[in-house]
Amino acid sequence: MRQVWRWFGPDDTTTLPMVRQAGAAGIVTALHGVAPGIVWSPEAIAQRQSELAAHGFTWDVVESLPVSEAIKTQSGDWRDHIDAYRISLDNLAAAGIQVICYNFMPVLDWTRTQLAAPMPHGGTAMNFDLIDFAVFDIHILKRPGAVNDFPEDVVEAARLRAAEMDDRTSNSLIRAIGSGLPGDQIFSLDELLTRIAGYDKIDAPSLRSHFADFLGEVVPHAEKLGLRLCCHPDDPPFDLLGLPRIMSCEADYQWLVDAVGSPSNGITLCSGALGVRFETDLPGMVQRLGSHIHFVHLRNTRRSQRWGHQASFFEDEHLKGETDMPALISALLDEQARRRAEGRTDAEIPMRPDHGQDILDDLSRGGTAGYPAIGRLKGLAELRGVVHGLEHARRTQT
């Protein structure tokens, strides 16, 4: 696997020389300042590439070329936004960038209730607590009907917790959930309610049909350009805020690859997001859908409590948690071997350590939540160790 690293641009507190010391080979980044629906210009793409080249890096993967809310809801300027998406793909292809990650989550990009939950080792990790989330949804946001979207015992536990919650705790809860809103935008609670209301008439089947329309418009274009689009799963992989989520499990990905049959219509396999679902079988998913995987995020989670598909969980160390990481990596090495045997030019799959716990100097460095320098360096080093060990065993077995 090609070891890549997510970098958020010149303001990232993890600098490119630090990424080089971590041993990553390539960079995953985006033009974070450009709003969804706006074309990524050749000049802006070239500038980002030259920032990377100055430190000996290439731009391996775009994460993300965002799909606008207008496209997801098929409202307003959505057709113009589709045109802009295609032009951005033209410009990325012309710059030699082939792998494009995106997601199709309504309103939120990802959701946690704590950005720095203390771990027993003294570091911190991101945490999602369904009861805290219910406190936010029912008692802080006061979303109409929220009470119907949680199990009864969660509603009751949230009622008790909300009664005891001081302002400091509730403000940090709002801040943690707000961090998962797309881009740098800070939404007010009223604005969040307005955005959620934009989905009042959109259920899972209609969101899926909007997604199919999007794929029908962009995938053939991407195929002509030789690009590989890859959809990231919902994080966490279950409905939140009454919004439909349609990329949460293997069946959703089977739907995706069947929706438009094309090598350009692929998967971002994120073990952290998908691994929260108790029924997820990641090595099996690689065996069944591996040929469509264009990008891999390796991260581990541990559930503390489960209610059906929903769960409270925290981001564990890369080789701890509930995903059997060596089994998953072994399946990915098998997939790469299959591709090599087929003569595929994309046999080496880009992989990045997804998130990391804040440890050592991370605790004072600041930066994007979930993306500390040392926590990810440790994760990447551990994953690299697994890859080397498995590759050695394969060489000596044959």
Sheet containing strand 114-118, strands side by side: 114-118, 124-128, 310-316, 300-307
Helix (H), strand (E) at residue 211: helix 204-225
Q: What minimum distance in Å lies between the beta carbon of 354 and Mn ion?
A: 4
Report the alpha-carbon distance of residue 238 to residue 168 in Å, rounded. 28
Distances (CA, A) of 91 to 43, 61, 83, 86, 227: 9, 14, 13, 9, 11
Known catalytic residue at 309: no
Q: Which window, 64-72, 89-97, 243-251, 294-302, contacts Mn ion (CB under 5 A)?
A: 294-302
Per annotation, catalytic residue among 132, 235, 354, 358 = 354
Active site residue 297: yes
Residues near Mn ion (CB under 5 A), total:
3
Nearer residue to Mn ion within complex by CB, 270 or 373: 270
Stretch that binds Mn ion, among 30-38, 124-132, 265-273, 387-395 (CB under 5 A): 265-273
| Least distance in angstroms from the C-beta of 101 to Mn ion | 9
User: C-alpha 105: how far from its chain's center?
Assistant: 10
* CB closer to Mn ion out of 81 and 297: 297
Residue 297 touching Mn ion (CB under 5 A): yes
Which of the residues 101, 230, 231, 270 is marked catalytic? 270
> Is residue 249 annotated as part of the catalytic site, yes or no?
no
Cα-only R_g, the chain? 20
Active site residue 270: yes
Q: Which helix (H) or strand (E) holds 196?
A: helix 189-197
69 binds Mn ion (CB under 5 A): no
> Among residues 70, 270, 276, 331, which is the contact residue for Mn ion, using CB under 5 A?
270
User: Smaller CB distance to Mn ion: residue 354 or 362?
Assistant: 354
232 catalytic? Reply is: yes
Check if the beta carbon of residue 337 is closer than 8 Å to that of residue 322.
Answer: no
Query: Measured from the CB of residue 270, what is the shortest distance to Mn ion in angstroms?
Result: 3
Q: Is the peptide bond before 64 cis (omega within 30 degrees of 0)?
A: yes
Q: Is 239 a catalytic residue?
A: no
Select 19 or 351, whichever has its Cβ closest to Mn ion.
351
354 binds Mn ion (CB under 5 A): yes
Which alpha helices (H) appear in 260-372, and where do they start and end? Answer: 271-274, 282-289, 325-342, 362-365
25: helix, coil or strand? coil
Please state, in angstroms and rounded to a whole number, the distance separating the CA atoms of residues 149 and 112. Answer: 18
Q: Tell me the closest approach of the beta carbon of residue 353 to Mn ion, in angstroms.
A: 10
Give me the catalytic one of 81, 210, 221, 232.
232
Q: How far is the CB of 361 from Mn ion (least distance, A)?
A: 24
Please state, in angstroms and rounded to a whole number, the distance separating the CA atoms of residues 84 and 49: 21
Alpha carbon 113 to chain centroid, angstroms:
16
SS3 call for 330: helix
What residues are annotated to the active site?
A: 232, 270, 297, 354-355, 371
Which stretches of the chain bind Mn ion, using CB under 5 A?
A: 270, 297, 354
